[in-house]
């Protein structure tokens, strides 16, 4: 039996044709934010390590990957990934045309917008092991299960955060 959803929210994934520089990522995220209706948002892409992770040069700092600060909706945070995908949940269908227009304004190349289910709804074992009982279910699916806690940046008007204590 299929249970009808009691919410009209909509999950979408924006895949630009190229990886975004921090400047373009900032522009895109601000355009998305100004379109409104964003319940939650996640950026996804390959990791940008601060030091060489392995090999003969292990530990050598990578200056190019440092201080990639961007400011979205008045809050500054540091990018730790190359922005390749943006997944977000819109409050309703009415924000979709605006989202597409926002991407067209911000991205100088083509992109795809896919609808689907991109955030999980129940905590996984990894979520539980790392964060215990998560009170605000909106952060589910925003957490990379392999990421360290310092890789996590959550921006919200209501200050949704996760306690950063070590377990």
CA distances from 147 to 44, 46, 90, 130 (A): 12, 12, 25, 10
Please identify, among the stretches 15-23, 29-37, 92-100, 145-153, the one whose residues bind other proteins according to the rule CB under 8 A.
Answer: 15-23
Q: Is residue 92 part of the contact set for other proteins (CB under 8 A)?
A: no
Q: Please, which residue, 84 or 98, has the CB nearer to other proteins?
A: 84
> Whose CA is closest to 98, among 37, 18, 139, 146?
37
* 54 near other proteins, judged by CB under 8 A: yes
Radius of gyration of the chain (CA): 17
CB of 15 to other proteins, least distance (A): 9
Give Cα 120 distance to the centre of its chain: 14
In this chain, which of 55, 122, 150, 167 binds other proteins, going by CB under 8 A? 55
* Calpha distance 79→92 (Å, rounded): 28
Among 17, 34, 124, 161, binds other proteins (CB under 8 A): 17
Q: Which of 9, 39, 84, 156 binds other proteins (CB under 8 A)?
A: 84
Residue in 143, 141, 116 with CA at minimum distance from that of residue 15: 116
Residues 6+ apart with CB under 8 A from 26: 70, 71, 72
Choose between 27 and 130: whose C-beta lies nearer to other proteins: 27
Residues 22-41 that bind other proteins (CB under 8 A): 24
Q: Which is nearer to other proteins, 19 or 162 (CB)?
A: 19
Residue 52 binds to other proteins (criterion: CB under 8 A): yes
């Amino acid at each position: 039996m299929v249970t009808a959803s009691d919410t009209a929210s909509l999950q979408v994934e924006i895949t630009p044709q190229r990886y975004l520089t921090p400047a373009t990522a900032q522009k895109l995220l601000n355009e998305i934010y100004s379109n409104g209706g964003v319940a939650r948002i996640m950026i996804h892409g390959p990791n940008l390590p601060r030091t060489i992770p392995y090999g003969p040069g292990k530990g050598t700092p990578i200056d190019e990957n440092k201080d990639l600060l961007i400011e979205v909706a008045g809050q500054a945070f540091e990018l730790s990934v190359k922005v390749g995908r943006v997944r977000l949940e819109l409050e309703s269908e009415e924000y979709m045309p605006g989202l597409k227009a926002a991407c067209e304004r911000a991205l100088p190349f083509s992109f795809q917008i896919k609808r689907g289910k991109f955030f999980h709804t129940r905590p996984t074992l990894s979520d539980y092991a790392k964060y215990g009982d998560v009170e605000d279910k909106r952060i589910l699916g925003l957490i990379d299960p392999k990421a360290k806690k310092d890789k996590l940046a959550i921006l919200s008007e209501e200050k949704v955060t996760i306690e950063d204590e070590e377990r």
